[in-house]
Amino acid sequence: MEEITTSEELQVTAFEIILNSGNARTLIHEAFAAMRLKDFETADQKLTEANDSILIAHQSQTKLLKEYAGGKKIEMEIIMVHAQDHLMTTMTLLEVAKEMEFLYQDRH
């Protein structure tokens, strides 16, 4: 018999992704503020913390993907679509922030 992920389980995973990627987004914006002040030590620290939060969000996502690959049926919900969107845009923002830090350091 095929196992099924409940709506509640999926929502918990979605909110874990949203929470951790949201924390990362906040840290990235704090890093941008530090860059503008030429405080690159703080910017580095914030970007490292942001990356750590993204990794936690990604682990939640990976757990769900492993369950799916193992045959567990997952009914997709809009909250998970939102969570995935949140995570992917935050991952992209982190990449941009790292490049911006390089540019700030190079020009100032």
Give Dmax over CA atoms of the chain in angstroms: 62
Q: Which residues contact 82 (CB under 8 A, 6 or more apart)?
A: 14, 18
85 among the known binding-site residues? Answer: yes
Please check whether residue 80 is in contact with residue 13, taking contact to mean a CB–CB distance below 8 angstroms: yes
| Catalytic option among 58, 82, 86, 108 | 82
Query: Does the annotation mark 82 as catalytic?
Result: yes
Annotated binding-site residues for Mg(2+) read 85
As annotated, the binding site includes 85
- As annotated, the active-site residues are 82
